Amino acid sequence: MTQYFAQVVDGIVTDVRVVTAEFMAANPDRYQGVWVETFFGVEGKTYAGIGCTWDGTDFVAPVVEPD
């Protein structure tokens, strides 16, 4: 099964990777810091993108103000 993980730095997503939890655990030098599983196509969950905020429960997309 495909898994997606977002790296979160100071509450902001800085990277998103397709990788299994097992691979991350076996290679901690490649996945330092905080990584949170994110879900694609799952009702009630927001897929993380770079710049999203992690609120501890779900990812929140940034608000873009019109010019």
pLDDT (tens digit per residue) in 24-61: 999 999 999 999 999 988 898 999 999 999 999 999 99
Tokens (6 digits) for 27? 């290679």
Whether the pLDDT of residue 1 is over 80: the answer is: no
Question: Is the pLDDT assigned to residue 5 strictly greater than 90?
Answer: yes
How would you classify the pairing of strands 4-9 and 34-38?
antiparallel
- Does the predicted TM-score (pTM) go above 0.85? yes
Which pLDDT value is given to residue 11? 97
Q: How far apart are CA 28 and CA 8, in angstroms?
A: 15
Please state, in angstroms and rounded to a whole number, the distance separating the CA atoms of residues 16 and 64: 20
Give residue 2's pLDDT. 84
Name the E strands within 1-64.
Answer: 4-9, 12-18, 34-38, 53-54, 59-60
